[in-house]
Structures are given as structure tokens and as C-alpha cells.
Amino acid sequence: MSKKPLSSPTTTHDGCPQPRPEWVPDEAGAGFATWVMEGVRTAGVEAAPANPRPRRAVLEVEDYVKGVSERNLTVLGRAITLVESNASRHREKAQRVLQELLPKTGRAKRIGITGIPGAGKSTFIEALGCQLIKQGRRVAVLAIDPSSSRTGGSILADKVRMEKLGREPNAFIRPSPAGGSLGGVARKTREAIMLCEAAGYDVIIVETVGVGQSETTVRSMVDCFMVLMIAGAGDEMQGIKKGVIELADMLVINKADGDNRIRCMATLAEMKRVLPYLHSATVGWKTPALLASALEGQGIGEVWRVTEQFFKTLQATGELNIRRREQAIEWMHALIEESLKSQFYQREDVRARLDRVEHRVASGRIPPLAAALALIEGKELETESLSLNK
């Protein structure tokens, strides 16, 4: 028995040849509105141009400077994308933009917030940001999302979690991928801070991926370093062991609501007993431990009151200017190291020999230090010449 074809012979519909499905009766006329679409209708339709115009106009340096200065969020977002770009053609333009905007930077309060996953960082930042906006401030949040070690991708979900803050006209939220950089802090976060300051935001909050030994990198780019903790997670002693708490200017025990409030109060008492035995992160300032509930909005006002007192103390002692000068120098050295590393791996002699030298290190035929020095100095290893002779 022969199989019935899926479609009947081709007829014409709407100016195009189209077959009808097998279930359409043979006597069905044009009123039976079922057709098999075999592609896009082309009758009477002009072909699209071979080279369509770009969707967005290319911005010049003066366009970026003008847009950022006027707090144009679209231009600000594109400026951050520009400084985050690894393309060589973008680097020169990005540095020219930053140079033009440099006089408008440095006036904001830079705050870094970190904590273990599940500490409620996004909820806390949203509650704090909304309260600051009610006080007439402008808040920018730079949220660093973790990148996959396999694919390099990031979900960038922080903006979704801060839905209420994202609706505020005086708020700017920019999620960025960590890109495998140290401490989960994106390589260009410092430039993004400068751009947000030039746009007139007076509070810049940097949310990092999570607590870890490398997370201390965030300290090198903010004025106030805040660590969020939760009760019952075992992170009190872990934090002390990793040294993160020793770098904290403020400790906030979050999620102090409902039945968890009693446990949070016990954790708060424990941290207050521990803190006097730790070195202060900032000269002239004793690190406080505070209680807060970002979900209920409790304790957020007290956290900001202590934060303002922190900045007043640093300005009075001159520590704020000292810290920022040291950070600028540290930033320069970090960029030098990054540039030298990039140039090293792009050298033709290194690219030609790297696989061969790696194989000899992995097989234990040469020490890693000798291999590294040979590649850096451009010298040939004895084992390489022997293998070539073979």
C-alpha cells in the first residue's frame, strides 16, 4: 500500500506556489485556510540591501564625553562596554574618553560589598540603594557576575534581582562578567567606576562574586569595604581564617528577621567579641558589626549612618586621599603586569616553542623555573636542542 503524500499538488496562494496538507479535501476551495508555507513570500517584495546600515551609530570621543557628562544611560552603558573591550582598536579611544572625563571623577563614595553566596547581597544593595535615592542621592551599582570556567559565559542576573532599584531614574545598574579575573572583580571595573562618577553618581557600589582569598582584590578599588554575613552558615571562623574580615571596614549580619533574628543576634555578639583581637583595616577606624534585615528594611538606615561616619573619619584624618593615591599606583602596576604578560604570549618565538616546553615540564624533564626563564630570555634549553637533533 502506497503511502499518502504529506501534501497535495502545488497550487498558488497569495502570489506564491504553495502545497496543501494531506488532510485538506480535494474539493476544498480557497475558503479552507490551511496551507504549507514553503519559505518566505517573495512576490512583490524587494530584496534587502546587501550591506544594511549598522543599527547604532558609531560614537566618537566627544560623543562619549558629552553623553556621559549629561548622564545619558545609553551612552554610559556603551562607554563601559568600550572600556571593557579587549579589542586593540577600542583601547585608544577608551583611554581618550577617560582622559577627558578625569576632572569629573573622584567625588563619589566608593563602597565594595561582598559575602558568601546566599548572604543576600543583591537584596541588601537594593534596599540600601532605594533608601539613598529617597535621600536625594544618585546610586550606581556595578555587579560582578561569576563567569563559567568552561564556557566563559555569565548569567548577569543581578539586574533582574534588583528590579525595584532598576526602576528608579536616579539608579544605574551594570552587571559585568568576572571573566576569570582575580577575586571575581572585572578587569575594567576601575574604569567603570570613573565613568559612573563622571556621570554624576555620588554613591558607587561594587558587588563582588563572593567571599574567598582572592576576593580581597576589591579592597584595591573602593573606599569602604563591607562584608555581609549570615548566621548559622559557619562563615564566621572561615572569614577570619581567610583574612577577609581583617580587610572589612564594616561587618553586617544580614537576614536578621523572623525566627532567624535570635541566631543573628548570637552571631553579632560573637563577632563583637572577636573584632577587638583583629587588626583594623583602616587607620583610625574600629570595624563595627551591625545587624540588618534587607528583606524587611530594618537596620539599613543604621548601616548608612555608620558608613557616613566612616567617610567623615577618613576625610578628617586624610586617610581617604592616601588610600586613593595608593590605589591609583597599584592600579598602574597591575596594568603594567597585564600588558607585559599579554605581550609575552604574543611573541612569535614564545608561541613557536611554548607547546614543546610545556610538554617537557609536564614530563619532568626540566624544572618549571628553568623553562620560564628560558622562554622569557629567549634562550634555548638543552633538552630542546637534543630533541631537535633526533
Predicted local confidence at residue 234, as pLDDT? 59
Q: State residue 7's pLDDT score.
A: 47
Check residue 111 and give its pLDDT. Answer: 96
Q: Strand pairing partners for 177? A: 145
223: nearest Cα among 304, 311, 287: 311
Please write the tens of the pLDDT for every residue from 168-219.
999 999 987 766 555 445 568 889 999 999 999 999 999 886 655 456 677 8
Residue 65's pLDDT is 96
Question: Angle, to 10 degrees, between the axis of helix 348-362 and the axis of helix 382-389?
Answer: 90
Beta strands in 116-181 (DSSP E): 139-145, 171-177
In the chain, the amino acid numbered 321 is: N
The alpha carbon of 228 is separated from its chain's Cα centroid by a whole number of angstroms, namely 18
SS3 category, 373: helix
Residue pair 100/65 in contact (Cβ under 8 Å)? The answer is: yes
Identify the H or E element spanning 368. Answer: helix 368-377
**DSSP category for residue 36:** -
**pLDDT score for 184:** 42
Say if CB 36 and CB 11 are below 8 A apart. Answer: no
Q: Block means of pLDDT (10 residues each) for the chain, length 390 residues? A: 49 59 66 60 58 74 96 95 85 93 95 87 94 96 69 56 89 78 62 95 88 65 92 59 77 92 91 86 92 93 97 95 92 86 91 93 93 90 55
Instruction: Give yes or no for a contact between 193 and 203, defined as CB atoms under 8 angstroms apart.
Output: no
Res 74: pLDDT: 94
What confidence score (pLDDT) does residue 56 get?
74
Q: How far apart are CA 14 and CA 178, in angstroms?
A: 52
Q: What is the pLDDT of residue 178?
A: 64
Question: How far is the C-alpha of 385 from the C-alpha of 127, rounded, in Å?
Answer: 65
Contact 214, 182 (CB under 8 A): yes
Handedness of CA 31, 33, 34, 35 (dihedral sign): positive
The residue with cell 560623543 is: 63
- Specify the length of the chain in residues: 390
Residues 6 or more apart whose Cβ sits within 8 Å of residue 178:
144, 145, 146, 147, 154, 184, 185, 186, 209
Q: In 3D, which of 52, 375, 73, 313 has the Cα closest to residue 196?
A: 73
DSSP annotation string for 248-281: -SEEEE----TTHHHHHHHHHHHHHHHGGGSPPS
Cell of 8: 497535495
pLDDT in tens, 254-292: 999 988 999 999 989 988 888 888 888 898 999 999 999
